[in-house]
Amino acid sequence: MKILYLITKSNFGDAQRYVFDLATGAKAQGHDIVVAYGVSPQEGSEGILGEKLREAGVRTLSLPTLARDVNTWKDLRSFFAVLELLREEKPDILHLNSSKVGGLGALAGRVYNTQERLLHLKDGGHPVRIIFTGHGWAFNEERTDTERILIATLHWLTIHLTHRTIAVSRKTREQIARTPFVWHKINVIHNGVGTIELLPKGEALTELLGKEAERLLKTNPLVIGIIAELHKNQGLNYALEGLSLLLKQTDQPILCIVIGEGEERASLETLRNKLGLGEHVFFAGSHTEGARLLSAFDIFLLPPITEAFPYALLEAGKAGLPIIATAVGGIPEVIDDMQSGILIQSKNPGEIARALAYLISNPDKREQLGQNIATRIRDRFSVEQMIEETLKLYASKNTEEESS
């Protein structure tokens, strides 16, 4: 098959990681792959995604007008750019990722298919099969009711314009299936993770902390790790408040390292200082290969308010870390509470503090939870399984879809 992957941004968040894994995995199986993406001013002309794909030998294309923010003129130009791309590439599969390009790309795909059938009445032309992956729904974010309804309607239209939609968790499917007539068009395919090459703990800590390493590690602290984009949906302010409560309950030296960047960094640093956590919380910035640094941590904390199916959870589990995570989105599909991790309520600093205190006081439980989650990730959430199920979906056409 010839497969065209399309994604809005060229950074390397979860959606981009997903596209990279699918593109490289499909290429390794002999498929003809091209990946197109918008240009991010912050990431440069190609972005990290483009750089990594080219290193892996995958052909890439950039769409300069494609961006996350709504801009009527640029969005119209992006629509025609995608339509022209389909005419030039003539893919068998168009796989769309992210809400913005999902809507634009699905509409362009339908227009392209109509043109193909009209121009090739005898043989039907070469229509493209349109797949969309819902990495999460924007109506789960903190918005007004009017905004939620509008966004849900746009997601609903996108799903109807595609042939199949992939939900990355059962919860993600349930959330959108509340809208009418979409359940039958949605398949659940969980994200998967491959082999992780961990650095030795000392090297990982030195890389994360830099010149601050000696000062911050002088008390031989227990290290709590967080990997997340620094925005409101990740609940990091509640994590800081929970750490503040924890330090009042234990004499154990504690250091929390946060890997990630985002628009909330300044406000989070202000909150850290306000809570007196300057010697206990370190913002390490963005690290492209953050998974190899997981060896720096003794406990992994994932406190989001809303989430679909985070790669950071899979990577931490693969690394055998004991995990504390909020029971939102698809996270409970990975963690069985007190068996392969600890699930807590979102927006609850007290629960964060209690869960951390429990694991600090019970090192045997930390080891058990780490072993259990590593086994679970290996057996149920491999990247090979994700690729295999997705390629099967590409190839599975039915009469209703081919005629739609």
> What value does the mean pLDDT take over residues 90-116?
94
| Inter-CA distances, 289 with 8, 199, 227, 294, 393, Å | 21, 11, 11, 10, 30
Distance between CA 377 and CA 315 in Å, rounded?
9
Q: Is the pLDDT at 107 greater than 90, yes or no?
A: yes
**Who's near 382: CB < 8 A, 6+ residues apart?**
192, 193, 194
- Residue 87: CB atoms within 10 A of its CB come to 11
> What value does the mean pLDDT take over residues 333-353?
97
Using 50, 70 and 90 to split pLDDT, how confident is the model at 40? low
Sorted by where each starts, the structural domains of the chain and their CATH numbers stand as: 2-192+383-403 (3.40.50.2000), 201-380 (3.40.50.2000)
Using 50, 70 and 90 to split pLDDT, how confident is the model at 68? confident
> What value does the mean pLDDT take over residues 350-374?
98
pLDDT at 264: 96
Using 50, 70 and 90 to split pLDDT, how confident is the model at 400? very low
Q: Is the pLDDT at 403 greater than 60, yes or no?
A: no
> What value does the mean pLDDT take over residues 271-298?
95
147-161, 243-257, 381-395 — which is least confidently predicted?
147-161
The single-letter code of the amino acid at 11 is N
Higher pLDDT residue, 382 or 45? 382
pLDDT at 358: 97
% of residues, the chain, pLDDT over 90: 77
Inter-helix orientation angle 363-380/311-318, to 10°: 110
Q: Are the beta carbons of 330 and 317 closer than 8 angstroms?
A: no
Q: Is the pLDDT at 26 greater than 80, yes or no?
A: yes
Using 50, 70 and 90 to split pLDDT, how confident is the model at 45? low
Q: Is the pLDDT at 286 greater than 80, yes or no?
A: yes
Closest CA to 128 of 109, 111, 114: 109
pTM for this structure? 0.90
Eight-state DSSP code of residue 269 = H
Closest CA to 131 of 283, 264, 26, 274: 26
Q: Is the pLDDT at 205 greater than 70, yes or no?
A: yes
